[in-house]
A and B are shown apart, each in its own frame.
Chain A
Amino acid sequence: MRRKFLVLSLLFSVVLLSFSAGSFAAGSEAEEGKEDPTGFIMHHIKDSHEWHFVTIGHTHVTLALPVITYSGDRGLEFFTSSDFQNHETHKFGKEYAHNGIFIDDHDHLGRVDGGSILDFSITKNVVMLLLVVAFVLYITLSAASHYKKNGAVAPKGAASFVEPIVIFVRDEIAHKSIGPKYKKFVPYLLTLFFFIWTGNILGLLPGAANLTGNIAVTFTLAMITFVIVNVNGNKDYWKHVFATPGVPIALLPIMVLVEFIGLFTKPFALMVRLFVAITAGHIVILSFIALVFIFESYSIGVLSTIMVTFINVIELLVATIQAYVFTLFSAMYIGSAVAEHHHDDHH
């Protein structure tokens, strides 16, 4: 049934394509002067001071978000994003400055007098962060309440969803990668997995923000892992970095440099991997959608809908895999920091 549907829709799109080939050529000329049809992609994957849901005709359906700024001479200030934009077009710009502060058309906050200002706004991604946190809290706390109420019985409801993941993270990720001292790190790894996974999945919803595909978010998560790894690093770990065993003394300065850089490349890889995987997925999906606006053809519409559906399913997979990979690598880095090395055996 499903297969038949796919084949039919493909055929349908091919037929339509032959009809619309001419109209596309004519249409592309009329396109000039209009807005860039792919601009919304970058707009979507980046953070923003307002949450834009949909544009119907010339009406923008948006959620104005709080803008919080701090500057040394002016202190903490609160505004809403609509203070800084054109109410018709919802465009930000220097010409819509408010109280000496403006948001430029790249969503950067600045001061008219050129002074330095820090932006602590509740941006779209911060709201998304709060949603993800609330979602994770709801699921895990309702799972926990099941155990509190019923004791150590078979899981039910939210608990039956959370429990297998908890067991997987505990046994397959934490225990296998960290070793005997894994118990201390299981809560962090669990939180990491649930946060990233939920962020990835909720980010796939139409109109949602690209939270886990934001470099600031992945940077923060990677930094937390970095801190945990190096705070828990034992003697062997530091010895491995600063006096790598089995290396000739002449090579030691180079090795120490390499090992030292290695401390930072690990979290850097974590940061980039998650950011790239999620952002790329969003870009691919949105590009297929953008094809519809570029070609303005029904056949492309059908085709790209199929492709978007297909990519979305893959993205569900990627969402889980990336959450798993981030958690797994964090566990492995922690494992390398707390492991008791037996140098005689390994080097």
Chain B
Amino acid sequence: MDLIIPSAGLIFWQLIGFLALLFILIKFAWKPILASLAEREASIDGALKSAEQARNEMANLKAENEKLLQEARLERDVILKKAQEASVKMIEDAKAESSKQGAQLIEAAKAVIETEKKAALTEVKNQVALLTLDVTEKLLRKKLGDDKAQVELVDQFIKDLKLN
């Protein structure tokens, strides 16, 4: 057999052998193997994609939660601030009110006191006048005959009044 001249017999057998191998393998090996590979790759692809999707969803959820939390925090801050303001205002108002009322009360008290004082004074004056009248009356009754004594007594009274 020659080295570099192809022999017809071997070409014939090689053609038959290789083509038989080709057709058997296409039908019974490559088709199922390639199909399984494609199927597996598709399933891996799908799994990866769904994992990615789940991760995205998780991230979204987390971001949403974060946002909600942030909003809640802001709201809380606002409420707190408002409450604080309100309380401060209420205290201020109360203070103002109370001081005003106090002042009024004091004013009223003062007025009452003044009135009372005046009334008391009037009363005292009246009493003094009455007493004076009484004393005068008694004196007049007892010692109306004695001029000297009368004068003395009147002087005494006047002296006393000045002292008072």
Q: B-side interface residues toward A, CB under 8 Å?
A: 1-15, 17-22, 24-26, 28-37, 39-40, 43
Contacts and interface: CB of A to CB of B under 8 A. Distances in A.
A187 B6 contact: no
Given A120-B13, A152-B40, A191 B5 contact: no
A144 B17 contact: no
Given A133-B20, A152-B43, A217-B10, A187 B2 contact: no
Interface residues of A, number: 53
Contact of A126 (B13, B26, B33): B13
Contacts of B17: 126, 129-130, 133
A140 B34 contact: no
A191 B33 CA distance: 13
A187 B11 contact: no
Interface of A: 42, 45-48, 68, 106-108, 118-123, 125-126, 129-130, 133, 136-137, 140-141, 143-144, 147-148, 151-153, 159, 162-163, 166-167, 170, 186-188, 190-191, 194-195, 214-217, 219-221, 224, 279
13 contacts: A106-B2, A126-B10, A130-B17, A133-B21, A143-B29, A144-B28, A159-B33, A188-B22, A190-B30, A191-B18, A217-B10, A217-B14, A220-B14
B155 to A, nearest CB: 142
Contacts of B35: 147
Nearest to B44: A152
Given A137-B21, A217-B14, A170 B34 contact: yes
A48 B25 contact: no
A294 B106 CA distance: 142
Contacts of A188: 22
A152 B5 contact: no
Contacts of B18: 129, 133, 191, 195, 220-221, 224
A70 to B, nearest CB: 10
Contacts of B12: 120
Nearest to A49: B1
Nearest to A108: B1
Contacts of B13: 120, 122, 126, 129
A195 B10 CA distance: 16
A166 B34 contact: yes
A47 B3 CA distance: 8
A2 to B, nearest CB: 37
B29 A46 contact: no
A267 to B, nearest CB: 13
Contacts of A141: 28-29
Given A129-B14, A133-B20, A191-B30, 8 more contacts: A123-B1, A125-B10, A126-B13, A141-B28, A152-B39, A187-B31, A220-B18, A221-B18
